[in-house]
Chain A
Amino acid sequence: MPEVLKAPLVLEFPFTRSLGPVQSAFLTGLRERVVLGVKTGDGRTLVPPVEYDPVTAEEIRDLVEVGTTGTVTTWAWNHEPRRGQPLDTPFAWVLVRLDGADTALLHALDAPGPDAVRTGMRVRVRWAEERTGAITDIACFEPYEGDGDGDEGRQPAAHSGEFEDMVTGIVAPARLDYVYSPGRAQTDYIRGLSDQRTVGERCPSCRKVYVPPRGACPTCGVATSEHVEVGPRGTVTTFCIVNIKARNLDIEVPYVYAHIALDGADLALHGRIGGIPYDQVRMGLRVEAVWSEGGRYPDHYRPTGEPDADYDVYKELL
Chain B
Amino acid sequence: MQGAAAMREIAVIAFAQTDHRRTTDELSEVEMLMPVLHGVLEQTGLKTADIDFTCSGSSDYLAGRAFSFTLALDGVGAWPPISESHVEMDGAWALYEAWTKLLTGDADTALVYSYGKSSPGSVRDVLTRQLDPYYVAPLWPDSVALAALQAQALIDAGDTDEPALAAVAARSRTDASANSHAQVRGSVPQGDYVVRPLRTGDCPPVGDGAAAVILAAGDRARELCERPAWIRGIDHRIEAHGLGVRELTDSPSTRLAAEKAGAFERPVDTAELHAPFTAQEVVLRKALRLGDDVRVNPSGGALAANPVMAAGLIRIGEAAARIHRGESDRALAHATSGPCLQQNLVAVLEGDPR
Contact A172 B245, beta carbon cutoff 8 Å: no
Report whether A172 and B138 are in contact in the complex, using a CB–CB cutoff of 8 Å. yes
Q: Mark B128-147, 1 if CB is under 8 A from A, else 0.
A: 01000111111111100110
Q: Is the CB–CB distance between A76 and B151 below 8 Å?
A: yes
Decide if B64 touches A176 in the complex (CB within 8 Å).
yes
Which of B74, B141, B244 is close to A217, meaning CB atoms less than 8 Å apart? B74
**Does B193 count as interface, using CB distance less than 8 angstroms?**
yes
| Neighbouring A residues of B156 by C-beta, 8 Å | 74, 119
* Complex CA–CA separation, A39 to B195 (angstroms): 34
Contact among A11, A134, A172, A184 for B26, CB-based, below 8 A: A184
* CB contact list, B41-79 vs A, under 8 A: 48, 61, 64, 71, 73-79
Tell me which residues from 32 to 47 in chain B have a Cβ below 8 Å from any Cβ of chain A: 34, 37-38
User: CB-defined interface of B244-273 with A at 8 Å, one 1/0 digit per residue?
Assistant: 110010000000000000000000000000
Chain A residue contacts of B152, Cβ below 8 A: 74-76, 119
A215 to B255, CA, bound (A): 43
Q: Are A95 and B243 in contact (CB-based, < 8 A)?
A: yes
Chain A residues whose C-beta falls within 8 Å of the C-beta of B207 in the assembled complex: none
Residue B189 interfacial (CB < 8 Å): no
B1 within 8 A of A: no
Residue numbers in B under 8 Å from A55 (CB-CB):
240
A184 near B28 (CB under 8 angstroms)?
yes
The smallest C-beta distance from A178 to any residue of chain B, in angstroms, reads: 4
Which of B34, B80, B197, B243 lies in contact with A106, CB distance below 8 A?
B243
Cα separation A84 to B156 with both chains bound (whole Å): 29
A135-B134, A170-B134, A184-B31 given; A108·B139 CB < 8 A: yes
Which residues 146-174 of B have a CB within 8 angstroms of A? Answer: 146, 148-153, 156
Query: CB-CB < 8 A to A50: which residues of B?
Result: 242
- A216–B134 contact, CB under 8 A? no
Asked whether A73 lies within 8 Å of B77 as measured between CB atoms, the reply is: no
Task: List residues of chain B with CB within 8 A of the CB of A219.
Answer: 77, 79-80
Mask: chain A, 187-226; 1 = CB below 8 Å from B; 0 = not: 0000000000000000000000000001111111111000
CA distance A74 to B249 in the complex (A): 11
The listed residue (B73, B121, B138) touching A178 by CB distance below 8 A is B121
Given contacts A48-B242, A103-B244, A135-B139, contact A172 B196 (CB under 8 A): no
The answer to whether B138 touches A134, judged by C-beta atoms less than 8 angstroms apart, is: yes
Q: Are B135 and A82 in contact (CB under 8 A)?
A: no
B77 near A180: Cβ-Cβ < 8 Å: no
Number of chain B residues whose Cβ lies closer than 8 Å to a Cβ of chain A: 60
Chain A residues with Cβ below 8 Å from B219 are none
In the complex, what residue of chain A is closest to B35 when comparing beta carbons? A223
Quick check: A185 and B121 within 8 Å, CB to CB?
no
Complex Cα spacing A289 to B108, Å: 49
* B79 cross-chain contacts in A, Cβ below 8 A: 218-219
Q: Is the CB of B244 within 8 A of A1?
A: no
**CB-contacts of B194-240 with A (<8 A):** 195-198, 240
Task: Tell me, in angstroms, the Cα distance from A105 to B136 when the chains sit together.
Answer: 9
Chain A minimum-CB-distance residue to B239: A54
Inter-chain contact A172/B122, CB cutoff 8 Å: no
- Determine if B139 and A54 form an interchain contact, defined as CB atoms under 8 angstroms apart: no
Q: In the assembly, what is the distance between CA of A212 and CA of B125, in Å?
A: 32
Known A83-B140, A177-B122, A221-B75; judge A183-B195 contact (CB<8 A).
no
CB within 8 Å of B: which A41-71 residues: 46-48, 50, 54-55
* Chain A, 162-184, CB within 8 A of any chain B CB: 170, 172, 174, 176-184
Chain B residue at minimum C-beta to C-beta distance from A187:
B26
List the A side residues contacting B243 at CB < 8 Å: 95, 104, 106
Instruction: Check: B5 CB closer than 8 A to any chain A CB.
Output: no
Which single member of A11, A95, A103, A214 contacts B74 (CB below 8 Å)? A214
Q: Is A136 close to B, CB under 8 A? A: yes
Whether B145 contacts A216 by the Cβ 8 Å rule is no
B148 and A93 form a contact (CB under 8 A): yes
B28 touches A221 (CB 8 A): no
State which of A15-23, A239-247, A257-265, A306-314 sits at the interface with chain B: A15-23
Residues of A within 8 A of B290 (CB): none
- Cβ 8 A contact of A6, one of B25, B195, B240, B242: B25
Contact (Cβ within 8 A) A82 B48: no
Distance between A270 CB and nearest chain B CB, rounded to angstroms? 16
Check B27–A183 contact: CB distance below 8 A.
yes
| In-complex Cβ contact of A174 among B120, B129, B245 (8 A) | B129
Interface assignment of A31: CB less than 8 Å from any CB of chain B: no
> Of residues 285 to 302 in B, which have CB atoms within 8 Å of A's CB atoms?
none
- Determine whether B107 belongs to the interface, using a CB cutoff of 8 Å to chain A: no
CB distance from A45 to the nearest CB of B (A): 11
Asked if A214 and B244 sit within 8 Å, CB to CB, the answer is: no
* Neighbouring B residues of A97 by C-beta, 8 Å: 244
B30 x A172 contact (CB < 8 A): no
For the complex, give the distance between the alpha carbons of A177 and B133 in Å: 19
Contacts of B248 in A (CB 8 A): 74
Q: Does B126 contact A (CB under 8 A)?
A: yes
7 intermolecular pairs with C-beta atoms under 8 Å apart: A17-B134, A74-B152, A95-B149, A106-B244, A174-B137, A177-B122, A180-B120
User: Which B residues form the contact surface with A (CB < 8 A)?
Assistant: 25-31, 34, 37-38, 48, 61, 64, 71, 73-80, 120-122, 124-126, 129, 133-142, 145-146, 148-153, 156, 193, 195-198, 240-245, 248
8 residue pairs, one from A and one from B, having the closest CB atoms: A183-B28, A221-B77, A104-B244, A76-B148, A54-B240, A84-B140, A77-B196, A216-B74
- Not counting A106-B244, A184-B26, A215-B30, a sample of 4 additional A-B residue pairs whose C-beta atoms are within 8 angstroms of each other reads A82-B125, A83-B140, A184-B28, A214-B30
